[in-house]
Structure 1
Amino acid sequence: MEVRLLEKGEGLPMKLLLEADTSEKLVNDYCGRGSVYRATIDGELIGVYVLLPLSVETVEIKNIAVAESARGQGYGKKLIFHALAEAERLGFGKVEIGTGNSSFGQLALYQKCGFRIDSVDRDFFTRNYPEPIMENGIPCKDMIRLLYTL
């Protein structure tokens, strides 16, 4: 797997970004303020993540997605570890990531990678998304915020 920073003028891999966040408006906003990394295998796009600085000490993995054809093969974990290494290389001491209260797979993955639950942003999804989100048969309402200290 090859991971590289998206170059200026290169189009966003919007289809893949929207798999992790359904709001094109929000995706465009944080991609414009952050750094987008794309992962390929033999030239085929299989993953993406966005690093968004929050302060001089903290960066957030704002979006992370793996193409459906590449899921279940450990690429999500590899992307997270790449993002952590990149955050450390850039001089950050903390990395945040957030996911929905109904996102069981993501919550498990992030904790397996060493993230710890830090806080809950109650009603984040109902405040920021016009349509209700259902996942695993549960309304997605709250953002679970996790933290990794480098």
Structure 2
Amino acid sequence: MTFVEMDPAHLPLALLLEADPAASRIAAYLPGAWGFAALADKEVVGACVAGLVGEQTAEIFNIAVAPNRQQQGIGSGLLRFVLTNLAGKGIGRVELGTGSFGHQLTYYQRHGFRVHAVVKDHFLIHYPEPLMEHGIQHKDMLRLSLVLAPDTASP
């Protein structure tokens, strides 16, 4: 597996839609963002989009792995690569939003992210179709954050 930084406009939309089913929302956060990819034989099998939201704060807007490549450590490797690259860009804090339950939440928690806020009714307001997981509708968004250690940056 190879991890690279690339123009987010070249990340496959179908892959980004795996993590965010609203193409209009994806289109809104791509300009000016950083794109990262996991490549297997030159094919993008994992993608991440992050952008600057404060002086030394970035947000991960989207991270996804192709469904047939999940549970193989690709997402974890990609996330570590992204965090290292963001630290190298002078980012000290990384934020993101996710559902209030489900595998995405535990994935981020395993990587050290902690809840710092709840956005009530986010998924009801911003998505026209219900977002369901395990028969339960996502309603509230949890805002998570991670402070990057200064030595996280690669030399």
TM-score (norm 2): 0.90
* CA RMSD, 1 decimal: 1.4
The match for 1:39 is 38
1:114 pairs with 2:90: no
In 1, Cα distance between equivalents of 2:18 and 2:25 = 13
In 2, Cα distance between equivalents of 1:17 and 1:5 = 15
Q: How does 1:1-150 map to 2 (within 5 A)?
A: 1-7=1-7, 11-102=10-101, 104-150=102-148
Once the two structures are superposed, what CA deviation does each residue of 1:103-149 show, in whole Å capped at 9, x if it has no partner? Answer: x1111111111111111111111111111211111111111111100
Once the two structures are superposed, what CA deviation does each residue of 1:56-108 show, in whole Å capped at 9, x if it has no partner? Answer: 11101110000112100111111111111011000011001211123x11111
Alpha-carbon contact 1:21-1:27 (below 8 Å) kept:
yes
The match for 2:153 is none
TM-score (norm 1): 0.93
In 1, Cα distance between equivalents of 2:19 and 2:32 = 17
In 1, Cα distance between equivalents of 2:3 and 2:75 = 12
Alpha-carbon contact 1:123-1:141 (below 8 Å) kept:
yes
In 2, Cα distance between equivalents of 1:29 and 1:70 = 27
Alpha-carbon contact 1:61-1:83 (below 8 Å) kept:
no
The match for 2:152 is none
- Structure 2 alignment gaps of length 5 or more: 149-155
In 2, Cα distance between equivalents of 1:68 and 1:139 = 21
In 1, Cα distance between equivalents of 2:118 and 2:134 = 19
Alpha-carbon contact 2:48-2:62 (below 8 Å) kept:
yes
Alpha-carbon contact 1:58-1:92 (below 8 Å) kept:
yes
Which secondary structure state, in structure 2, belongs to the residue aligned with residue 15 of structure 1? helix
Deviation at 1:27, TM superposition (A): 0.4
Deviation at 1:30, TM superposition (A): 0.4
